[in-house]
Amino acid sequence: MSRLKLLLIGLFLLLAHFAIAHPAWGIIMDEQGNFYFADIGHHERGTLWRLSASGKLTALLKDFHAHNVVLDARGNIISAHGEDHHTLVRLWTSGEMDTLLTTTDLDEFYGGNWTRSVNGNIYFCLKHHVWKIGLDGQKTKHSPLRLEWNQAIFVDAEENIYVPDIGQGNGTLFKIKPDGSYHAIARDLIEVPAGREKDPHADILQGMAKDSEGNVYIADLGGRRIVQIGPNMTTKTFYRSASGHSPSGICFDGRTAYVLEDGPRIVKVSPNGHTKILFDYNAPKSIEKEEEDWWVYTLLIGFLALFVYLGYRDDYRRDRKGFIDTVIGTLSSAVKFIFGMR
């Protein structure tokens, strides 16, 4: 039965890998203390969440594959769906929603890796470059910088763009000025755990933020940490996730940081370094969760069980009781694992 167990374990590990390899990284806080964050692990292709200052969780958009979320100058929420169609939307504080742009042509806009400045300019990364859509709607190449492997972008209040490149060295972060000129502000940002080789699909650099003192922060998923980048390319670990978790994004309220981790969950990091789990989707009774399409998971498990039976019917014939016990035990563990991820 050992090959059966290995097959089932491998299948579920593969599902878990794809769920966490390229997570959402957008998180922002408004003036009222409400959080908005992206999550690709719930409600089919993803969810745009609102966590109120009082702790109430609301799914603003479902089946919405968003990686980033920002606020405009008036505090309205802006996010983009980045699968099949690429649609940038604005959710007004009044509750209404409008579409800023939509396309199925990636050359026009890529909703999987974008940001928007408070001035209204849209930036996105595609085909090794950063592109800008100005207020006139025209798209231009923003900088001559060529990126080898990029999966996130951030713009600060002064319209400086920050883009990590995991294809240059061991992770390099570039700063692009409003005029398009650029320079590296940090190198060797990816910390690979001892005992294994670097995985370019998992050891990536994602969400970024800037504090009131001008330090830049970036999520290093390989090292399960947030890196602080100070003057003269100095770097240090600002926060490291607990075992079993990994950070993907960060935002600030004054000197207090809020780290978005897989789950999703939000960890508060006080100026003195004290940490507190502010929100955890998977914590028992932490929130009143909405009903989801649980039947999708049940159907998946059923198909896996059928596949196992058809592929290993010889084992079934030789040792029927042992086969059934193995399948039931493994699928039971899988159910707990899948619903734990939710």
* Mean pLDDT value across residues 46-59: 96
**Helix pair angle (320-341, 294-311), 10° resolution:** 150
Q: CA-to-CA distance for 320 and 245, rounded, in angstroms? A: 39
Higher pLDDT, 15 or 76: 76
How far is CA 287 from each of CA 52, 218, 316, rounded to the nearest angstrom?
12, 28, 43
In the structure, what pLDDT confidence band is assigned to residue 127 with cuts at 50, 70 and 90?
very high
pLDDT at 293: 47
Residue 3 has pLDDT above 70, yes or no: no
Is the pLDDT at 275 greater than 60? The verdict is yes
Is there a contact between 260 and 284 (Cβ–Cβ < 8 Å)? no
Name every residue whose Cβ is closer than 8 Å to that of residue 170 and which is 6 or more positions away in sequence: 187, 188, 189, 190, 198
- The answer, yes or no, to whether residue 340 has pLDDT greater than 50, is no
Give me Rg for the CA atoms of the chain.
22
What is the mean pLDDT of the segment spanning 102-113?
Answer: 97
> What average pLDDT does the segment 190-196 reach?
87
CA 24/CA 41 separation, integer angstroms:
9
How confident is the model over 239-261, as pLDDT tens digits? 999 988 999 999 999 999 999 99
> Which residue, among 126, 34, 141, has the nearest Cα to 80 in the 3D structure?
126
Predicted structure pTM score:
0.80
Closest CA to 211 of 265, 271, 267, 151: 271
Residue 176 has pLDDT above 70, yes or no: yes
Find, among 213, 275, 206, the residue nearest to 238 by Cα.
Answer: 275
| pLDDT per residue as tens digits for the range 138-173 | 999 999 999 999 999 999 999 999 999 999 999 999
Q: Residue 184: pLDDT band by 50, 70, 90 thresholds?
A: very high
pLDDT band at 87, cuts 50/70/90?
A: very high
State the Cα–Cα distance between residues 293 and 289, nearest whole angstrom.
Answer: 12
* Model confidence band, residue 199 (pLDDT cutoffs 50, 70, 90): confident
**Complete edge-to-edge strand list for the sheet that includes strand 154-155:** 154-155, 161-165, 172-176, 182-186
CA distance 169 to 240: 22
Q: How confident is the model at residue 9 (pLDDT cuts 50, 70, 90)?
A: very low
How far is Cα 76 from Cα 70, in angstroms, rounded to an integer?
A: 8
Helices and strands (H, E) in the chain, number of each type: 4, 24
Alpha-carbon distance of 124 to 111, in angstroms, equals 8
User: Mean of the pLDDT values across residues 170-184?
Assistant: 98
